[in-house]
Every structure is written in C-alpha cells, then in structure tokens.
Structure 1
Amino acid sequence: MGVAAVHVDSSDRSELDLVIVTGISGGGRSTVAQALENVGYYVIDNLPESLVGQAAELAAAGGDEVRRTAMVLDVRSRAFTADLVGVVEDLRKAGFKPHLVFVDADDDVIIRRFEKVRRAHPLQGDGLLGDAIAAERRLLEPARNSADTLFDTTHLNENQLRSRVEEAFLAPSSAGLQFTCLSFGFKYGIPRDADYVADVRFLPNPYWVPTLREYTGTDQDVSDYVLGQDGAEEFVDAYASLLLGTTQGFEREGKRYMTIAIGCTGGKHRSVAIAEALAKRLNAAGFPANTHHRDRGNE
C-alpha cells in the first residue's frame, strides 16, 4: 500500500525541533535517545535513511505532540548508506533545521562495553571487534566532522551522559545558547566534545598548599585562593567576554549548546574554580550555563 503525500508549509518545517542522532556503536546512542524522551522528544529509533525526509514531513504536520522529534540512525539498519551528511543537507534544502548529534568514545572503552554485554558489533560478522569499530569509524567520519553537538562518553557513565543530554536539550526558557563549563585535568586527556579549550595552569596550584590539597575548586577556601591570584579574575572576565562576543554568530548558524572546557593539571582545583566562576558570568549575562567537573574525583 502506498503512503499518501504529506503537504507541509515551509514555515511549519522550520518550526519543527528536529534532532538527528548517530554515532559509534557502544558510544551511548540508546542513552541519548532515552534522555531526549525524558525532555519531551518523540524518538524514532533505527530509522532507515530513505525514510528520514518522509518522517520529518509527518512530524511537521503532526501537531504539538511531535513538535520535538528525534531520529536515531546507525549501522544496525540494513538500508544504512553512511551518507548522513547528505540526509541532513536534504532536510535543510526542504526547509527543516535539523540538529545533528554524534555520540563517540575511545576504542578501548567501546571494546570493554561490548565485552561486558557479550554481544557482537553490528559490522563484526566473523571478524574482529577492533576491525568492526574501525570500519564504522570510517563510515561515520563525515557525520562526526559535520555534527552540531558531539558527546564524548569515554569518561561518562549512563547517568552522567543522560544528565548532559537533558541539560542540552531541555526546552529553554529563552532561545539563546546554553553553555556547559567543563573542568578537566590535562593528565587525563582533553575532552573531545569541547567547543573551546582553555588552560589555567598559569595560576598557582592549590595542591601545593597543605591546607587546601584535599579540597576541590567548589570549596570556598580553594575558590577564594584561585580567584585571588593575579590574573585570575581578569582571565574569567576576558574569556566570558570572548564567548559572549560569539553568541550571536553561533545562534545565527543554528548552534544551541556549547561546551567550554577549562583544564589544569589534575582537574581538581584551578579548573573547577574557574569553570564555576565562568558559569556565573555567563548566567549573569542571560545565557543558561551549568558546570560539570569530569576529573574532580580522580585524585
């Protein structure tokens, strides 16, 4: 039986809050999908690329119940062609404003996750898991490079990932950008999902102050010590000003969520205090900003 054509005004298409989710198998796509459902999205999982345009048209015509729609596309589908960039461009040409989300993690983490659940990778067949992951990365590289939002789940458990997604896609009270100020330790690696990365190792390290060593940048004494150093407040003010100067352009380009990574040596003292201070500046300027401290508990 054929499907009746759906005629939707182009203005209705642009008003549809449409999210396309893809990424590496084992990276956390299902958790992202669940989080999107939690904040009000109608989620279509394992959708063939050939049906994306039709599904978007139906959602645009479907009223308020599906005004926020998310589609999960991945290599599980037999019709998967890896031309996700082309799919997104076709949607834009048709008047939609899709937001492409990519979910990723380090190979060793992906391997541990597959071994834990004892299931095969969708591309593995009779081959090796590592080869299947490499093949999937090659297929999805163009989509990763074109993603509007990248979630690197290497250092996140399911609850942390769910929280990050819900914070990013909870219907905002204003149409402006939303920020996450993410502290991290360089010794544990730079966050791959960061839009901006700043290094605050130019500030004295509270680790070498015996009375502060066991505390973190969210403790008042440590925060006062870090922000009381020469150049600290000036750095926060200047960096906030830089970020605020980009918001209009990013909003014009359809950006809705930005991760600002602030790094120090271990991610426990300086980066935490500066990330908290930066979030306060952004909130005071009218842009929703939360904090996430990736490595605070690692020492």
Structure 2
Amino acid sequence: MAGEGEGQFLIVTGMSGAGRTTVGNALEDLGWYVVDNLPPQMLRPLLDLTDLGGGALPKVAAVVDVRGRGLFDDLPDVARALRSRGSVQVLFLDASDDVLVRRFEAVRRPHPLQGDGTLLDGIRVERSRLTLVREAADIVIDTSTLNIHQLATKTSEIFSEEGAARHRLTLLSFGFKYGLPTDVDLVADMRFLPNPFWMDELRGLTGQDEQVREYVLSREGAQEFLDAYAKALVPVLEGYQRENKSHSTVAIGCTGGKHRSVATAEELARRLAQVPGVAVNVRHRDLGRE
C-alpha cells in the first residue's frame, strides 16, 4: 500500500487481542486519521466525509470489530459495497487461539463474546463470525509471534510511503546560561571549543554565518567530535526505528546558544540527514536572545 497516493481508506479488523490498537497507533504515527470502534454502518458516512474534505484527510483508517456487537455482522456487505468507490482495503489481524488466551489473561480482561463461558469459548465464537471477513481481506497479518514493537514496525513497513521517514530527529541548539532544555533525549556540550564571542569580528554574527561556521568547525577537536558523535548516533537512530520510536531530540549546547552550538547543530544535521528513514529538523532555541 506504500506510495499509492491520496484517497486511501483502510478498514482495520480482526481477532480481539490480535493487535488492532497497536496498528491504529502506528498508523496515526504515519499520518493517518484513525477512528476506533466504528460500527460498520458508519463506514459509508465516514468515506463520504473523506471525499467531501477535498483532500484534507487523504488517509483514513477505521478500526471495526466485535465490540460493535450485532452491528458488526454487516461488515462483509458494507466493505464489499465500499470497494467500488475507491481505494478501500481491509486489513485483518489474526493470532492463534493459545496466544490470544495468554494475551487476555495477561491484561485480566474478558473476551467481548465469552459471556458466561471461557476465554476460549469467546475466541471460537469470534473466529466463526469473522470467517468471511478474513477470506475477503486484502492484507492478513498473523501477530502470534510479534510483540507490540514488531507489529508497529511491520505496520510501518507496509503502509509507509516509499522514502517516507520512519523517525523524526530534532537537533536543538541552546545556551546553557538560559537553562537546560527538559524535553530532550540526549545533550552534547560544545563548550570545549573556543568561543567566537570573544572575537570582535565574530561576536555579532551567529553559527549560521559562514565566518563563524568556518571558525568553529576548524578548531582543534571539532571534526573529531562530529565524526565520533555522528557515528555514535547512527545505531541509536536505527534502533529507534526498530523500536518504533517516531521522534527524538538531541540538544547541542554552548554558553549563549548563538555560535558553537548553532554551527555544530547545522553540521550534524547535514551528516545525519544521510541516515535512511530519518528526517532531520534543526531548531535554535536561543539564537535571537541578546
């Protein structure tokens, strides 16, 4: 489904406990508009709303399952009718009975269809009701051997547009004298480099100016730091993608957040933009301060 363009409408369904919530969250991280626990009869109005939106909601996913009780039985007919209207697909999530039992026992919740029976009774009733839906599904994922991170990763692999970033990295320059940023994952300190502030011809410039950039990056230890730090961050960013961590922030600090941290953040962004699956954004928190 990756790269199919606008106007995608996905029905997410399947066995209770097979991972619908995880898939819904992963789709939201990919920019989909996700509606949870929608009765099948509401799929047509939702598709109408999507069409009327003029492209405002190009990717919509509706999670439909047996929590809709008797209303759920209409799903095969509704899905069949909607397929003629555009890019409507059905994703079915499945897992073996023993795995589903273990998952329900782990969260200590009853199966929505077990009634006065056992967990296994409810699972078997649900599986029987979903037979036609599974047979007609466009995509079936068996999650029996997948944990939540692996399922989220698999969802991203299937539904990401070709070349789309799976992780967004923010490089944030800042000045220590204005306080450490609190919402960051890693912090680097550039105060080991000489401060351009003490040079009259550079004081009024910033790390975005070529003169300051050349000065900072040519100081002893600057290139060694950049080489080592960029190399160290690559496996971190790759690991974030495997673990489905979609955002991270690396803070780069110097005294005032105007020269060394800015030049370093810009150069580090240039290098890390080459990491597959990573989109890099640069922010300069204290650049405009006096």
Q: TM-score, normalised on structure 1?
A: 0.51
* Partner Cα distance (1:50, 1:79) in 2: 11
Q: Residue by residue, what CA displacement relative to the aligned partner does 1:125-162 show, whole Å, maximum 9, x if unpaired?
A: 21111111000001001111111111110000000000
Give me the CA root mean square deviation. Answer: 1.9
Query: Which residue number in structure 2 is paired with residue 54 of structure 1?
Result: 45
Mapping of residues 65-214 of structure 1, within 5 Å: 65-93=56-84, 95-172=85-162
* Partner Cα distance (1:130, 1:79) in 2: 20
* Partner Cα distance (2:91, 2:97) in 1: 19
Q: Residue by residue, what CA displacement relative to the aligned partner does 1:34-61 show, whole Å, maximum 9, x if unpaired?
A: 1111111000100011111011110121
Q: Residue by residue, what CA displacement relative to the aligned partner does 1:48-91 show, whole Å, maximum 9, x if unpaired?
A: 11111011110121133311000000001145332322111111
Structure 1 or 2, whichever has the larger Rg, is: 2
* Partner Cα distance (1:79, 1:106) in 2: 24
The answer on 1:23 being equivalent to 2:11 is no
Give the unaligned 5+ runs of structure 1. Answer: 1-13, 175-299
Query: Which residue number in structure 1 is paired with residue 188 of structure 2?
Result: none
* Partner Cα distance (2:40, 2:135) in 1: 18
* Partner Cα distance (2:106, 2:163) in 1: 40
AA of the residue aligned to 2:44? G
Distance 1:173 1:63, change over 3 A: farther
Give the unaligned 5+ runs of structure 2. Answer: 165-290
Pairwise CA distance, 1:15: 5.0
Pairwise CA distance, 1:96: 2.2
The answer on 1:34 being equivalent to 2:25 is yes
AA of the residue aligned to 1:80? L
Given that 1:48 and 1:79 are in contact with CA atoms closer than 8 Å, whether structure 2 keeps it comes out as: no
* Partner Cα distance (1:17, 1:79) in 2: 27
Q: TM-score, normalised on structure 2?
A: 0.53
AA of the residue aligned to 1:50? Q
* Partner Cα distance (1:52, 1:96) in 2: 13
Pairwise CA distance, 1:18: 0.4
